[in-house]
């Protein structure tokens, strides 16, 4: 496994987290950001929900990174 393949795998996982819709998928299953309440959340579930909420802001940079990876795949196989 090369460093490039590791970065591609991280990008794919980030893409998967970024497309999860809070209203349609996360909240009905108890993983909504609003259900965590206010203040610091130190539970594992609270930290995962915070991560899912933070990844939502990465959508614009993900478009650029995905475009770069696609161009690299086309050019270099």
Separation between Cα atoms, residue 37 and residue 52, nearest integer Å: 16
CA distances for 68 relative to 18, 22, 37, 72, 75, angstroms: 18, 28, 38, 6, 11
Mean pLDDT of the chain: 87
State yes or no: pLDDT of 50 exceeds 90: no
Percent of the chain at pLDDT > 70 equals 91
Task: Domain count for the chain, please give it.
Answer: 1
Q: What is the mean pLDDT of residues 9-23?
A: 91
State yes or no: pLDDT of 42 exceeds 80: no
Cα 70 to chain center, whole Å? Answer: 18
State yes or no: pLDDT of 37 exceeds 80: no
**Full residue range of the structural domain in which residue 13 is found:** 3-76
């Amino acid at each position: 496994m090369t460093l490039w393949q590791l970065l591609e795998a991280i990008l794919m996982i980030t893409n998967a987290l970024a497309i999860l819709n809070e209203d349609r998928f996360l909240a009905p299953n108890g993983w909504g950001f609003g259900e965590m309440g206010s203040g610091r959340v130190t539970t594992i579930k609270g930290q995962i929900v915070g991560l899912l909420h933070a990844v939502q802001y990465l959508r614009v940079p993900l478009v650029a990174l995905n475009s770069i990876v696609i161009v690299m795949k086309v050019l270099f196989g």
